[in-house]
């Protein structure tokens, strides 16, 4: 574990990891405090995907979003946010991992509106898996599992895409303030 | 007006599954033992196929709430988050299958999902965050634990910052009240007026915190071999 630990953190500076931790903090704060009270399933993905893609854009290094997901998942479990308990870890890590995979394919995605929307949809679609796992564990019929998972993830994908569309605007404003030193070559 | 709003909505951390102080036998149990018991109860929920098993398990978990000194209000706060999901499941079953048998099957499945996650709620209600963090130290790498602790530490700070920035911007006329945010046209204003100043603050705080930690000798990257700081 020590070797994995050192390998993983070789690329990140202390400033990077603290900022990524703050992105996880914002994810938790917005999830619990700034909810839109729409009572529509999936609207929490609006801020979740925004901060995932923003973290990946501000710290353009591999596994940045996964790290944000891991920290946010741990914080959610520690604070008891979300009804899934320990399954919250998976709910945060999966979208982060998918964002990192997308970044590996298209490093400049955080400044492109279409790319952000697509990544927002892909990341939000991971909710499909978490619903599938929970429903399959209790032995639900597969037809109902698919209906439930699709229904739960569809709204999340829409909100995720909308939240992701805000990222290029924010990244450009932060670059204009000379607050970001982005090298997307990693 | 601000005080009544805070009473109505509660603070940011005033939600279901929050730790409740108490001196019950459940509170005094070791966190690791509680976690194992919670996992076992969740596993029983998975294998509980018959209605009497589900009812017995539900009775057991409600009983645990009583033993832990958590009242009916707390139980309702934790149960209500599953209500919508149970209703959706019942509706899906009734649409897919015969309405009568679909209702009972949906109800059984919904209850199983509730019983799958309720032990985690009891665990979180009776275990302090400090105990959870102490457990994290044993299973996660030190650097990740550092990030988690730092993020946890800054939650109240940034929650306060967010409230202050939002208040100041609303006083300047920014359309970012909860009612105004129901209109998607105002979502851009949310990012312009709230999130960008907040992120500027976060980047500067990250810089200051990193400098402060490094000045105290904390490093996030491994000390290379042969470096004077590396101890044998």
pLDDT in tens, chain A (186 residues): 556 566 666 778 888 999 999 999 999 888 876 554 556 667 788 899 999 999 999 999 889 999 999 999 988 887 777 666 667 788 899 999 999 999 999 998 999 999 999 999 999 988 888 888 877 877 777 888 888 888 878 888 999 999 999 999 999 988 888 877 655 444
**Any idea what the CATH number is for the domain that residue A90 is in?**
1.10.1760.20
- A186 in a structural domain: no
Q: With 80 as the cut, is the pLDDT of residue B222 above it? A: no
Q: Is B205 on the interface with A (CB under 8 A)?
A: yes
Q: Output A174-177 pairs: Cβ under 8 A, ≥24 positions apart.
A: A174/A58, A174/B196, A174/B199, A174/B200, A174/B203, A177/B200
What are the tens digits of pLDDT across the range B86-126? 888 888 888 877 888 888 888 888 888 888 888 888 888 88
Q: Do the chains contact at A26 and B141, CB–CB below 8 Å?
A: no
Closest CA to A24 of A83, A107, A84, A89: A89
Q: Is A151 on the interface with B (CB under 8 A)?
A: yes
Structure-block tokens of residue A122: 């892909």
C-alpha–C-alpha distance, residues A134 and A94, integer Å: 15
- A68 in a structural domain: yes
- Which residue among B13, B96, B206 sits closest to A144, beta carbon to beta carbon? B96
- A119 in a structural domain: yes
C-alpha–C-alpha distance, residues B33 and B27, integer Å: 11
State the burial class of residue B23 (Cβ atoms within 10 Å of its Cβ: 0-12, 13-18, 19+). exposed
Q: Do the chains contact at B150 and A147, CB–CB below 8 Å?
A: no
C-alpha–C-alpha distance, residues A93 and A95, integer Å: 6
Q: Do the chains contact at A80 and B19, CB–CB below 8 Å?
A: yes
pLDDT of residue A185: 46
- A15 in a structural domain: yes
- A102 in a structural domain: yes
Q: Choose the weakest-confidence range: A165-179, B84-98, B143-157, B204-218.
A: B84-98
pLDDT of residue A23: 95
Q: Is B117 on the interface with A (CB under 8 A)?
A: yes
pLDDT of residue B152: 86
pLDDT of residue A182: 56
pLDDT band at residue B7 under the 50/70/90 scheme: very low
pTM here is: 0.75
pLDDT band at residue B217 under the 50/70/90 scheme: confident
Kindly state the average pLDDT of the residues B158-184: 88
- Which residue among B17, B142, B143 sits closest to A80, beta carbon to beta carbon? B17
Q: Are A54 and B195 in contact (CB under 8 A)?
A: no
- Which residue among B113, B200, B210 sits closest to A177, beta carbon to beta carbon? B200
pLDDT of residue A112: 93
> What count of other Cβ atoms lies within 10 Å of the Cβ of residue B180?
15
Give A140 to chain B, closest Cα distance, Å.
7
pLDDT of residue A8: 62
pLDDT of residue B12: 37
Best of B170, B195, B215, B222 to mutate (most A CBs within 10 Å, chain A): B195
Domain count for chain A: 1
pLDDT of residue A6: 63
Closest CA to A169 of A54, A33, A56, A75: A54
pLDDT of residue A55: 95
Q: With 90 as the cut, is the pLDDT of residue B218 above it? A: no
Q: With 60 as the cut, is the pLDDT of residue B228 above it? A: no
Q: Do the chains contact at B155 and A25, CB–CB below 8 Å?
A: yes
Closest CA to A141 of B79, B94, B56: B94
pLDDT of residue B9: 41
Q: Is B137 on the interface with A (CB under 8 A)?
A: no
Percentage of residues in chain B having pLDDT higher than 70: 87
Kindly state the average pLDDT of the residues B166-173: 92
Q: pLDDT: is B180 or B49 the higher one?
A: B180
Q: With 80 as the cut, is the pLDDT of residue B3 above it? A: no
Q: Where are the domains of chain B?
A: 2-132, 141-215
Helices (H), chain B: 2-9, 25-28, 31-47, 51-67, 72-96, 99-125, 129-139, 142-171, 187-190, 196-215
- Which residue among B81, B93, B147 sits closest to A71, beta carbon to beta carbon? B147
- A182 in a structural domain: no
Q: Is A181 on the interface with B (CB under 8 A)?
A: no
Helices first, then strands: H and E counts in chain A: 9, 0
Structure-block tokens of residue A181: 């030193």
Q: Are A153 and A127 in contact (CB under 8 A)?
A: yes
Structure-block tokens of residue B206: 């990250």
Beta carbons within 8 Å of B158's beta carbon, 6+ residues apart: A22, A25, A26, A29, B198, B201, B202
Q: Is A104 on the interface with B (CB under 8 A)?
A: no
- A37 in a structural domain: yes
Residue A104 sits in which domain range?
2-176
State the burial class of residue B32 (Cβ atoms within 10 Å of its Cβ: 0-12, 13-18, 19+). exposed
The position carrying tokens 């599953």 is: B82
Q: Which residue of B has its CA nearest to A17?
A: B147
pLDDT of residue A4: 58
- Which residue among A25, A78, A173 sits closest to B158, beta carbon to beta carbon? A25
Q: Is B129 on the interface with A (CB under 8 A)?
A: yes
Q: Which residue of A has its CA nearest to B97?
A: A144
């Amino acid at each position: 574990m020590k070797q994995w630990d050192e390998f993983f953190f070789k690329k990140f500076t202390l400033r990077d990891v603290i900022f990524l931790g703050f992105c996880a903090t914002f994810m938790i704060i917005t999830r619990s405090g700034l909810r839109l009270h729409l009572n529509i399933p999936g609207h929490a993905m609006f801020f979740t995907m925004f901060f995932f893609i923003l973290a990946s854009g501000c710290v353009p290094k591999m596994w940045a979003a996964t790290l944000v997901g891991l920290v946010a998942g741990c914080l959610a479990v520690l604070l008891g946010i979300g009804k899934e308990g320990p399954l919250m870890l998976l709910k945060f890590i999966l979208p982060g991992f998918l964002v990192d995979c997308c970044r590996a394919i298209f490093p400049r995605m955080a400044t492109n509106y279409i790319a952000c929307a697509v990544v927002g949809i892909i990341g939000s679609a991971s909710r499909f898996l978490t619903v599938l796992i929970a429903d399959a564990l209790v032995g639900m019929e597969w037809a109902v599992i698919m209906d439930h998972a699709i229904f739960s993830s569809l709204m999340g994908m829409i909100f995720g895409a909308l939240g992701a569309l805000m990222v290029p605007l924010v990244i450009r404003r932060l670059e204009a303030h000379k607050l970001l030193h982005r090298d997307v070559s990693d | 007006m601000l005080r009544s709003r805070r009473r109505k909505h509660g603070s940011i951390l005033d939600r279901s599954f929050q730790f409740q102080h108490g001196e019950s036998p459940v509170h005094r149990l070791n966190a690791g033992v509680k976690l194992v018991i919670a996992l076992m109860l969740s596993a029983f929920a998975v294998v509980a196929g018959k209605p009497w098993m589900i009812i017995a398990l539900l009775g057991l978990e409600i009983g645990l709430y009583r033993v832990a000194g958590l009242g009916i209000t707390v139980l309702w706060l934790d149960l209500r988050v599953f209500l919508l999901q149970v209703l959706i499941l019942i509706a899906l079953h009734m649409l897919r299958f015969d309405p009568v048998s679909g209702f009972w099957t949906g109800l059984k499945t919904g209850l199983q999902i509730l019983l799958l996650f309720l032990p985690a709620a009891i665990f979180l209600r009776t275990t302090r965050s400090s105990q959870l963090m102490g457990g994290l130290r044993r299973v996660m790498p030190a650097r990740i634990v550092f990030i988690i602790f730092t993020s946890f530490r800054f939650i109240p700070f940034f929650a306060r910052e967010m409230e202050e920035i939002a208040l100041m911007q609303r006083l300047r006329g920014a359309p970012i009240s909860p009612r105004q945010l129901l209109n998607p046209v105002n979502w851009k204003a949310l990012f312009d007026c709230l999130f960008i100043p907040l992120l500027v603050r976060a980047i500067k705080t990250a810089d200051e915190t990193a400098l402060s930690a490094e000045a105290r000798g904390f490093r996030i990257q491994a000390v290379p071999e042969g470096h004077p700081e590396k101890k044998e």
